[in-house]
Amino acid sequence: MPLVTERSRSIAFCLAITTIFNANLLTENTKCVSEEEYRKYKKNLGSTTILISINGTIGNIAFFNSENVILGKSAAYINIKNFISKPYIFYILQTYATNCYFEDELTGSTIRNLSLKSIRNAPILVPPTLEEQKAIAQILSDMDAEIAALE
């Protein structure tokens, strides 16, 4: 069932990654669309989806968590295949090498843009087994937790 706001009985419309993952999805600044528009433009997002910002602020990465949203031009989605670890790809998309590739692929001077073609063609090395991918992602997650504990 679509998420309906109190103020306008409409669906949340995401223009940027940060809009999706704020503690409060629907704020006074959240853009909304009708349920008809939601049904017309919604994408096949699910438990294997990673979101990435591609317009203005480039490379913010987030997991899709079943929010009822449609994506604006500032966000793209990647549906990860079942033989690839979603957390592994989440971390790889944040590496220096991937960010350098994205930086080289940007277009525009005032507002920078990363094309969907560039995302599709990103050179991402994937270990051969799902177990190895999960182990690498777990190590990186543990390191993130340790860093957060120090802050």
* DSSP states of 46-74: -TTEEEEEEESEEEEEEE--S--EEE-TT
Q: Residue 42: which pLDDT band, with cuts at 50, 70 and 90?
A: confident
> What local confidence, expressed as pLDDT, does residue 22 receive?
38
**What is the arithmetic mean of pLDDT over 85-104?**
95
pTM of the model: 0.78
The single-letter code of the amino acid at 110 is T
Q: Are 40 and 33 in contact (CB under 8 A)?
A: no
Specify burial of residue 114 (Cβ count, 10 A radius: 0-12, 13-18, 19+): buried
Using CA atoms, how far apart are residues 56 and 42, in angstroms rounded to an integer?
A: 22
> What local confidence, expressed as pLDDT, does residue 30 receive?
64
Contacts of 148 (CB under 8 A, 6+ apart): none
* CATH fit for domain 11-150, picks 3.90.220.20, 3.30.70.1450, 3.30.70.1400, 3.40.190.170: 3.90.220.20
Please write the tens of the pLDDT for every residue from 105-141: 999 989 999 999 999 999 999 999 999 999 999 999 9
Contacts of 78 (CB under 8 A, 6+ apart): 49, 50, 51, 52, 89, 119
Please write the tens of the pLDDT for every residue from 57-90: 888 888 888 877 788 788 889 999 999 999 999 9
Q: Residue 93: which pLDDT band, with cuts at 50, 70 and 90?
A: very high
Contacts of 79 (CB under 8 A, 6+ apart): 44, 45, 46, 48, 49
> What local confidence, expressed as pLDDT, does residue 106 receive?
96
Residue 6 pLDDT greater than 60, yes or no: no
Using CA atoms, how far apart are residues 100 and 139, in angstroms rounded to an integer?
A: 23
